[in-house]
Structure 1
Amino acid sequence: MLELERKMTLEQALQDFIVETRKSSLETNKIVQEVSKQIKKTEKLLNEKFQETEKKFQETKMMFQETDKKFQETDKQIKNLLKKSSEFDSNWGKLIEALVEPAVLDLFKERDINVLGTANNYIIERNGKKIMEIDLLMKNGDCLVLIEVKTSLRIEDVNEHIESRLTKFKKFFPEYKDKKIYGAVAYLKCLEKADIYAMKKGFFVLTFSGKHLIHIKNKKDYKPRDFG
């Protein structure tokens, strides 16, 4: 009797284990299915987000390409404007040179500088390379006047004339070692009070006026600097 009861208890325990195992398996399977469902949902969401990001990336890329194209077009337009502006200034400069050259003979004669000859666009070359260009060069028995012509005169133009031409002239022309070297500027428009600055540096300053087409702004008793 006791043996039979033990057998029934064992069988019951086994059946209970099987039932619990099946129940647990069903719950596990349900969890797995739910997790799988969530994974698929997440994958779908990530895929949608990726596609959306890719679309935005392509749109941004196209926008940058369009912006770059516009920048290139703008840069081209700016270069064309600068080229035209340079040509415009060059043409004005040539016109001023053409007006100044015949006038300097009488203007400097009034300053006791008898001009014997002039040369425009006086270019100095060494070994086929241009090292100096003088817009107008005036020659006298005992001096030379180097005139820089500008449409718009700035302080930097005055300094550049001193550093690049006046102080270096005798280096390239030692035959003029006994000559005085004077500096001058001629302009149509003055910026930064460059005319006053030029006179302080020892320059003759030539410009246009209503009464006289071209005149020297310096006072009659002005003493120019000898840059030689």
Structure 2
Amino acid sequence: MTTPVTIEDIYKLFERSQEKLDKSIAEADRRFAESDRRFAESDRRATESRAELERLIAEREKSLAKLERTVERTSKAIDALTTRWGRFVEELVEPAVLRLFQEKGIDVKEVYPRARTKRQGAAMEIDILAIDDTELVLVECKSRLSKDDVDEFIEKLNRFKISFPHYKDYQAYGAVAGIEINEGIDRYAYRQGLFVIKPSGDSVAIANDEDFKPSYW
């Protein structure tokens, strides 16, 4: 025989169901609270990481700016030193130019240090320019002569008569001078048809031998 369900039985069942529901809600609330805590912690860490990253970026930018200023100052100092050495070489070579090339059969009679033109699109400066009525010599002076210097000078020789058109009918020769000359560069310049001027005692001398045949532009 089936036992009849009483109001008390239904009430107890409801209580048990309510307890389970309360526990489920409490567990859900706990999990939500834990999730909120973890999210807040993650957000805090992310904020701290962003702040640290921004600080590091700011420090890097500051260091780069400082490095750029240092490089700029160093470059200016090197350029100034290079210019002074270049001027020294010019002052050493200039007094000897007429004698040196007259001895080689190029009868130049006038010397113009730092000859320059500002012709639009063809500006150029020649360290030393020695001329007579039909011939001239362009001299490039370096404290240390490199292959790049020789190549750049040859380009200058190729453009010379565009920059100085009043010399278009002259026969132009090229010479490179250096206090120091990188290994093999004297021979390289020789093969390009350039005179090579080196220190000799208290003055300078042309190093090319008697077999040398100069190029002209």
Inter-partner Cα distance in structure 1 for 2:98 and 2:145: 22
Preserved CA contact (<8 Å) 1:182 1:224? yes
TM, length-normalised to structure 1: 0.86
What is the letter of the counterpart of residue 207 of structure 1? K
SS of the aligned residue for 1:147 comes to: strand
Per-residue CA deviations over 1:81-103 (Å, capped at 9, x if unaligned) read 00000000001111111110101
What is the letter of the counterpart of residue 136 of structure 1? I
Shift of 1:130: 6.3
Match of 2:207 in 1: 217
Match of 1:146 in 2: 138
Farther-moved stretch of structure 1 (183-192 vs 12-21): 12-21
Match of 1:202 in 2: 193
Unaligned ranges ≥5, structure 2? none
Match of 2:127 in 1: 135
Preserved CA contact (<8 Å) 1:205 1:217? yes
What is the 5 A alignment of 1:38-187?
Answer: 38-127=31-120, 131-163=123-155, 165-187=156-178
Inter-partner Cα distance in structure 2 for 1:30 and 1:126: 94
Shift of 1:183: 0.7
What is the 5 A alignment of 1:187-198?
Answer: 187-191=178-182, 193-198=184-189
1:24 aligns with 2:17: yes
Inter-partner Cα distance in structure 2 for 1:47 and 1:71: 36
SS of the aligned residue for 1:167 comes to: helix
Inter-partner Cα distance in structure 1 for 2:99 and 2:35: 94
Shift of 1:192: 5.4
Preserved CA contact (<8 Å) 1:111 1:220? no
Farther-moved stretch of structure 1 (17-26 vs 34-43): 17-26
Shift of 1:174: 4.2
Inter-partner Cα distance in structure 2 for 1:198 and 1:205: 7
Preserved CA contact (<8 Å) 1:123 1:130? no
What is the letter of the counterpart of residue 27 of structure 1? K
Calculate the aligned-residue CA RMSD, in Å: 2.1
SS of the aligned residue for 1:114 comes to: coil
What is the letter of the counterpart of residue 166 of structure 1? L
Inter-partner Cα distance in structure 2 for 1:92 and 1:198: 21
Identical-residue share of aligned pairs (%): 31
What is the letter of the counterpart of residue 203 of structure 1? L
SS of the aligned residue for 1:126 comes to: coil
SS of the aligned residue for 1:222 comes to: coil
Preserved CA contact (<8 Å) 1:147 1:183? yes
